[in-house]
């Protein structure tokens, strides 16, 4: 079931087209990584989906409800974490969560149990008595997550939840988000730390100057970027191996890099999953060439991102 669906969603600020005809679908349980340079329109998308502003044109549905006419019902079913947590002086962590729980209409008894649960889940139990503005940045980010979980939303819109976190806190944030994913929540998460999204997300979207230049699985993005099917080989006779492989029809290119061969499979041989693991070694061994190592060259999301975007900014 589609939990987020937008069609030609467009938002303008004066002469700036912050979001330009976004058409996107997230299925239930998707963990969607939203990528794009500063000013691409990621936060704008989330604000529109959270029904905090109206689009100039186009439409959006969240949990099957229309953002234009059913925003109250949508707000009850989503959790939106903005890029900056509002400042709340003079409130303890626990009071802060009770405050939001009450705002969502949770009764006191039930609220107490839920506050305990989200404190536990976000590892803030030890800080329940601390003042909100005394928390470190990482703890504040975790409190931001705790707050959006209070009413057990089905959809989470998380705007750079890991920004400003130290490496350990980022790893903890990632495992928290993966846990939420396992709970079946549909999650849209923006981040500039692409390796992090690579590990967590099943789908990604790449936005550039308000336009979606890609959406789909990471594998599709890798394929579209042309960075697929690269295999790294170490062989005894690199020059002869190059000739043998070129004659085999299995590869479309072969380069020698630091004494290793980096080959690109043809589309046909890549479609045949066996090509890399059996066909290539078979051809080489058949020609009497010893293989010292063979492995797929790993592709990272940063390379894919650079290939699929032009560097334009709003």
Ligand X SMILES: Nc1ncnc2c1ncn2[C@@H]1O[C@H](COP(=O)(O)OP(=O)(O)OP(=O)(O)O)[C@@H](O)[C@H]1O
Q: Interface with ligand X by CB under 6 A: which residues?
A: 13, 16, 18, 36, 38-44, 314
> How do beta strands 31-35 and 57-62 pair?
unpaired
Instruction: Give all strands (DSSP E) within the chain, no chain letters.
Output: 2-13, 16-27, 31-35, 57-62, 65-66, 78-81, 155-159, 186-190, 203-208, 211-217, 230-235, 251-257, 260-265, 291-296
Site for Mg ion in 70-129 (CB under 5 A): none
Residue for token digits 């939840």? 161
Pairwise CA distance, residues 174 & 142, whole Å: 11
Closest CA to 215 of 232, 201, 226, 235: 201
Q: Within 13 Å and on the Cβ side, how many CA atoms surround 174?
A: 18
Q: Toward ligand X, which CB reaches closer, 71 or 314?
A: 314
d(CA 297, CA 284): 19
Q: How far is the CB of 81 from Mg ion (least distance, A)?
A: 12
Rounded distance between C-alpha atoms, residue 135 and residue 141, angstroms: 9
| Residue 38's binding partner out of ligand X, Mg ion, none, with CB under 5 to 8 Å set by partner kind | ligand X
18 binds, among Mg ion, ligand X, none (CB under 5 to 8 A by kind): ligand X
The site partner of 211 among ligand X, Mg ion, none (C-beta below 5 to 8 Å per kind) is none
Per-residue interface string for the shown chain with Mg ion, residues 23-52, x marking contact by CB under 5 A:
-------------------xx---------
User: Which CB, 18 or 146, lies closer to ligand X?
Assistant: 18
Q: Which is nearer to Mg ion, 119 or 188 (CB)?
A: 188
Q: Choose between 243 and 312: whose C-beta lies nearer to ligand X.
A: 312
According to DSSP, the β-strands at 211-217 and 291-296 are: unpaired
Q: 203 or 242, CB closer to ligand X?
A: 203
- In whole angstroms, the minimum distance from the beta carbon of 188 to Mg ion comes to 12
Q: How far is the CB of 306 from ligand X (least distance, A)?
A: 16
Residue closer to ligand X by CB (options 116, 314) is 314
Helix (H/G/I), strand (E/B), else coil: 63: coil
The per-type count for the chain, helices as H runs and strands as E runs, is: 13, 14
For the stretch 261-288, what's the b/e string if a residue is b when 16 or more beta carbons lie within 10 angstroms of its beta carbon? bebbbbeebbeeeebbeeebeebbeeee
Task: Return the structure tokens found at 153.
Answer: 């939303």
> Could you tell me the smallest distance in angstroms from the CB atom of residue 45 to Mg ion?
9
- Residue 44 touches which of ligand X, Mg ion, none (CB < 5 to 8 A by kind)? ligand X
User: With respect to ligand X, which residue has the nearer C-beta, 29 or 82?
Assistant: 82
Residue 145 CB, nearest distance to ligand X (Å)? 18
Cβ at position 38, least distance to Mg ion in Å:
7
CB of 47 to ligand X, least distance (A): 8
Q: Give the footprint of Mg ion on this chain (CB under 5 A).
A: 42-43
């Amino acid at each position: 079931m589609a939990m987020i669906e937008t069609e030609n969603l467009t938002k303008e600020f004066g002469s700036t087209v912050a979001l330009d005809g976004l058409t996107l679908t997230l299925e239930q349980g998707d963990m969607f990584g939203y990528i794009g340079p500063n000013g691409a329109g990621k936060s704008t998308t989330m604000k529109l989906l959270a029904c905090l502003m109206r689009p100039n044109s186009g439409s959006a549905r969240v949990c099957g409800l229309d953002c234009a006419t059913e925003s109250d019902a949508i707000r009850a079913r989503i959790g939106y974490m903005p890029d900056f947590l509002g400042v709340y002086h003079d409130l303890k962590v626990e009071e802060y969560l009770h405050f939001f729980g009450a705002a969502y209409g949770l009764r006191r008894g039930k609220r107490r149990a839920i506050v305990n649960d989200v404190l536990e889940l976000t590892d803030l139990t030890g800080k329940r008595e601390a003042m909100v503005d005394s928390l470190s940045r990482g703890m504040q980010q975790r409190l931001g997550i705790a707050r959006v979980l209070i009413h057990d939303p089905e959809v989470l819109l998380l705007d750079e939840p890991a920004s400003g976190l130290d490496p350990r806190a980022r790893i903890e944030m990632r495992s928290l988000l993966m846990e939420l994913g396992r709970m079946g929540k549909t999650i849209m998460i923006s981040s500039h730390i692409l390796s992090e999204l690579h590990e967590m997300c099943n789908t990604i979207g790449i936005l550039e100057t308000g336009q979606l230049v890609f959406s789909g699985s990471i594998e599709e993005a890798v394929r579209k970027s042309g960075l697929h099917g690269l295999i790294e080989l170490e062989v005894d006779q690199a020059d002869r191996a190059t000739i043998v492989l070129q004659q085999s029809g299995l590869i479309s290119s072969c380069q020698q890099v630091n004494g290793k061969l980096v080959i690109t499979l043809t589309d046909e041989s890549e479609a045949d999953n066996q090509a890399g693991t059996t066909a290539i070694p078979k051809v080489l061994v058949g020609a009497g060439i010893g293989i010292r190592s063979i492995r797929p060259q790993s592709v990272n999301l940063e390379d894919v991102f650079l290939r699929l975007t032009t560097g334009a900014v709003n």
